[in-house]
Amino acid sequence: MTALALDTPRAYELGETNTLPVKASTCIYEGAAVGDSSGYARGLVAGDEFRGFCIKQADNSATATNGAINVQVRSSGKAQLAVTDLAITSVGAQVFASDDATFTLDSNDGANTYIGTVYRYVSAGVGIVSFAAKGDRADESVTLGMMADLARGSIIVGGTDGNRPTALAAKTSGQILIGDGTDLKSVAVTGDVTISNTGATTIGAGKVKSSMLANGAGVAALLTAGLGGSVSVKKDDVAATKTIIAAHGTKERACLVLVTVDETYAIGTGTLPTVQIGEDDTVNKCMADTVLDTEEAGTVLAFAFTNTATKKIIVTTTAATGDATGGCSITVLAIPTT
């Protein structure tokens, strides 16, 4: 482009007016609020985009052709209107249209069309309204205070009607927002995991299968989750009671106990070390102290028992004497049963 070097007349439009094509079979009366219907002007219907006020009647009612005539509109300015519920305290309040001649302070949860704000109080139910069609509003000029009421717990999304903004209820308890490639939806989480309205997730019973676990991850995961414990017992451990898993405050637990012999049990000329596995008050509930007597290193023994609520799972030991040998590792998995 080259900078101008001489006067160049241009075609300008008068400020605050516009000319719009009229929808087929439609008559727009002078003073009517004008709405947009797929690009064509008509007497405003709730939900239409506001295009201004009709300056002079435009009658296209006898024609079935969109745009056969045009209508002149005042696209921005101030006008005296009868507005339902307008009071002396309403200055600055948002004004909405439910049709081309009915104005109100009620957005009807976004169903009515925003046209402007109360500029001055005239009398009860009557005021001067500052209005502006979409094209006459500067970028970023629509503040939160100017927006139509939005139902609590809703968000604004692009709708199916020409991508026009629409309200999406997003407050249903325990649901999440997710896109499907076209729309944003509020849906319940289903399948293996559920979610609470505080954001806490829960894996459903029986949903974790062995195929989902890395090698060795099953036992490790249970131990990490506090559903298991392990201890090692050596031949020279002094007489003692060790806690394998702390007590559960309210629930019984189904227990699987694996005893792996680390050192062969042999009495020699001394006395074998002893190992008992049980719970508070019943120290041998799972395994008696006579079980480990000649087991060789590498032997694995499995036991099961029910652990009573409020009682720790324990191992009770005594040390070997003389040249007797024996040692083991104990792993317990304890799953609440109620």
More confident residue, 315 or 194: 315
Angle, vertex CA 185, rays to CA 180 and CA 190, nearest 5:
85
> What domains are there in the chain, each with its CATH number?
17-146 (2.40.300), 150-206 (no CATH), 218-336 (2.60.120)
* pLDDT at 217 > cutoff 70: no
CA dist., res. 162 & res. 116, Å (int): 23
pLDDT for the residue numbered 134:
77
Considering the entire predicted model, what is its pTM?
Answer: 0.46
| pLDDT tens string 274-302 | 999 999 999 999 999 999 999 999 999 99
Q: 27-28 and 58-59 as β-strands: parallel, antiparallel, unpaired?
A: antiparallel
pLDDT band at residue 210 using 50, 70 and 90 as cut-offs: low
pLDDT for the residue numbered 38:
92
Measured in degrees and rounded to the nearest 5, phi and psi for residue 304 equal -145, 145
Is residue 258 within 8 A of residue 301, CB to CB? The reply is: yes
pLDDT for the residue numbered 1:
42
Q: 113-123 and 126-132 as β-strands: parallel, antiparallel, unpaired?
A: antiparallel
| pLDDT tens string 25-61 | 999 999 899 999 999 999 999 999 999 999 999 999 9
Least confident span in 55-69, 104-118, 151-165: 151-165
Angle, vertex CA 60, rays to CA 58 and CA 66, nearest 5:
115
Average pLDDT over every residue of 258-284:
94
Give the percent of the chain with pLDDT over 90.
57
More confident residue, 224 or 165: 165
* pLDDT at 16 > cutoff 60: yes
CA atoms 54, 56, 60, 65: torsion sign: negative
| pLDDT tens string 130-157 | 999 877 665 545 566 556 677 788 888 8
* pLDDT at 96 > cutoff 70: yes
Three-class HEC string of the chain: CCCCCCCCCCCCCCCCEEEEEECCCCEECCCCEEEEECCEEEECECCCEEEEEECCCEECCCCCCCCCCEEEEECEEEEEEEEECCCHHHCCCEEEEEECCEEECCCCCCCCEEEEEEEEEEECCEEEEEEECHHHCCCCCCCHHHCCCCCCCEEEEECCCCCCEEEEECCCCCEEEEECCCCEEEEECCCCEEECCCCCEEECCCCCCHHHCCCCHHHHHHHHCCCEEEEEECCCCCCEEEEEECCCCCCCEEEEEEEEEEEEEECCCCECCEEEEEECCEEEEEECCCCCCCCCCCCEEEEEEEECCCCCEEEEEECCECCCEEEEEEEEEEEECC
* pLDDT at 6 > cutoff 80: no
pLDDT for the residue numbered 42:
95
